[in-house]
Amino acid sequence: MAQVRLQKYLAEVGLCSRRKAEDLMRQGRVTVDGQVTEAPGHMIDPETATVALDGQVVGPPQKLAYYMFHKPSGFLTTLDDPRGRPTVKGFLDKLPVRVYPVGRLDLDVSGLLILTNDGQLAMRLMHPSYLVSKIYRAKVKGLPSEEKLDLLRTGQILILGKPAAPAKARMLKSGPDKGQLELTLTEGRHRQVKRMCAAIGHEVIRLKRIAYCDLPLPPDLPPGQTRKLSPSEIRHLKAQVGLVPADSDPKK
């Protein structure tokens, strides 16, 4: 069988992205036939090499799988929490294939997460240069004025000292002391929506992601449920990050 770079193999078996694989290799955690292998260009023959991470043999490339998941709030987007808090692992374990969340939602945030073992797609969807859109519905304290929303729209908000990219922002509902906002972001920095809303003086009370890369969270997918992505949804995600030609995007 043709030789492949070790980091490509690790991504293809669904372990992680290529970049993460390189980190693991640099950390001396990956062995090939029992030898620690740190060189990023190392080639292996997947048919004959025994590749292990932290001493655990990594299996042959598995079938690529793509799901959407309605993450309920109250679960961490990780597979293991040293503090023993609930994680999404229990939901993922019910699936027939091993898949991983693309990006994260905070513990108290619900909504759409993509799950896959396609490391290359996951890496691109998470990379800021692809400007993948994410739509959030945020219930906030108080009623943000249009002037304040303009600060979000024009990128005049600093998050940890760096300007946040301009976001689409619109009021969906307003009550006497609360408002509901829809925010469309192309960045995915840590606690970004909460930080952006806090920066204009409106604390987020509840947050839900209602779309990812133009795929909406279906109304008939209840919290805690997963469903396979359709071939056209998979093609759309790949087209958005340049993995298939844009003219094969069924959404265009």
> Is 169 one of the binding residues for ligand URA (CB under 6 A)?
no
Cβ at position 90, least distance to ligand URA in Å? 19
> Is 194 one of the binding residues for ligand URA (CB under 6 A)?
yes
Q: Give yes or no: 80 in active site.
A: no
Cβ at position 102, least distance to ligand URA in Å? 13
The strand pairing partners of 111, in sequence order, are 71, 209
HSE-CB at 198 with a 13 A cutoff on CA atoms is: 10
HSE-CB at 221 with a 13 A cutoff on CA atoms is: 22
3-state SS assignment for residue 252: coil
3-state SS assignment for residue 101: strand
Provide DSSP, 103-135: S---TTEEEEEEEES-HHHHHHHHSGGG---EE
Judged by beta carbon, residue 117 or residue 192, the one nearer ligand URA is: 192
Judged by beta carbon, residue 51 or residue 193, the one nearer ligand URA is: 193
Query: 229 with 217: CB under 8 angstroms?
Result: no
Contact residue for ligand URA among 24, 112, 164, 193 (CB under 6 A) = 193
> Is 213 one of the binding residues for ligand URA (CB under 6 A)?
no
Judged by beta carbon, residue 124 or residue 194, the one nearer ligand URA is: 194
Judged by beta carbon, residue 89 or residue 190, the one nearer ligand URA is: 190
> Is 191 one of the binding residues for ligand URA (CB under 6 A)?
yes
> Is 141 one of the binding residues for ligand URA (CB under 6 A)?
no
Site pattern 57..96 for ligand URA (x: CB under 6 A): ----------------------------------------
Query: 15 with 99: CB under 8 angstroms?
Result: no
Query: 168 with 184: CB under 8 angstroms?
Result: yes
Q: Catalytic pick from 23, 54, 93, 106? A: 106
Four-CA torsion 132, 136, 142, 148, nearest 10 degrees: 20
Q: Which stretch binds ligand URA (CB under 6 A): 67-75, 104-112, 118-126, 235-243?
A: 104-112
Nearest CA-CA partner of 243 in 5, 2, 11: 11
Give the count of beta carbons closer than 10 Å to the beta carbon of residue 218. 12
Q: What is the β-pairing status of strands 56-57 and 215-216?
A: unpaired
Binding-site size, ligand URA (CB under 6 A): 8
Query: 197 with 223: CB under 8 angstroms?
Result: no
> Is 10 one of the binding residues for ligand URA (CB under 6 A)?
no
> Is 8 one of the binding residues for ligand URA (CB under 6 A)?
no
3-state SS assignment for residue 221: coil
Q: Which stretch binds ligand URA (CB under 6 A): 25-33, 150-158, 185-193, 237-245?
A: 185-193
Judged by beta carbon, residue 15 or residue 217, the one nearer ligand URA is: 217
By annotation, the residues acting in catalysis are 106
Q: Which residues contribute to the site for ligand URA (CB under 6 A)? A: 105-106, 109, 191-194, 207
